[in-house]
Amino acid sequence: MRAWVRANDADAPVPEGFTQGRHAFAMALVKFEQDRPAQFWGGLLAFIAIPCLVLHSLLR
């Protein structure tokens, strides 16, 4: 899987085990993290930080 993710060939076939269901979603996240790491980590940080900030403002 790692070789497929890091391959620069956009037309490379997706491994068979990662074409359907939860595995396809995981493969999409891995591919997104490899292609756009700043957006991935920024989004993950925001996913955690925004609810914390909302709770903080509500409980203050």
pLDDT digits (tens, 9 = 90+) for 2-60: 677 677 666 777 778 878 888 888 888 888 888 889 999 999 999 999 999 999 999 98
Residue 14 has a CB neighbour count (10 Å cut-off) of 14
Query: For residue 1, what pLDDT band results from cuts at 50, 70 and 90?
Result: low
Sorted by sequence, the CB contacts under 8 Å of residue 25 that are 6+ apart come out as none
Its domain, for residue 32, covers 2-59
In this predicted structure, what is the pLDDT of residue 8?
65
In this predicted structure, what is the pLDDT of residue 46?
96
- Counting the structural domains of the chain, the total is 1
In this predicted structure, what is the pLDDT of residue 28?
84
| Cα(6)–Cα(34) distance, integer angstroms | 7
